[in-house]
Amino acid sequence: MGFKITFNWALQIDCQDTVEQDKEYNFSKEGNRSFPINTPIDLINLERDAIAKIKILEFTNTEGKTSGKYKILKLYSGDEKKILSNYWRENQ
């Protein structure tokens, strides 16, 4: 008997460039996951474009689902966005 959980160092969700710096947002994902709390990680969309540097404020696992809250620390743009997006696409 066991519990399947995935450790994540990025939050990949269906979001575009509509997020704003210093704001908090909720998220929900299928499957059980673990994220570092209050540690900067990347927010990427489903196409693996780097959107922002975030910190996960809290998350909860229920049966087959993870939900939580994150805060935008920095929005990516320009060369930084291109380099990080390429990194996430190469490391699928």
Residue 28 has pLDDT above 90, yes or no: yes
State which residues form the domain around 42: 6-90
Q: Is residue 35 part of a domain?
A: yes
What pLDDT was estimated at residue 17? 64
CA distance 12 to 2: 25
Q: Reply yes or no on whether the pLDDT at 92 is more than 80.
A: no
Q: What's residue 75's pLDDT?
A: 96
Q: What is the CATH number of the domain that holds 64?
A: 2.40.240.20
The 10s digit of each residue's pLDDT in 44-78 is: 999 999 999 999 999 999 989 999 999 999 999 99
- Count structural domains, the chain: 1
User: How many CA atoms lie within 13 Å of 8's alpha carbon, on the beta-carbon side?
Assistant: 23
Let me know if residue 34 belongs to a domain.
yes
Residue 26 lies in a domain: yes
pTM: 0.92
Answer whether residue 1 is part of any domain.
no
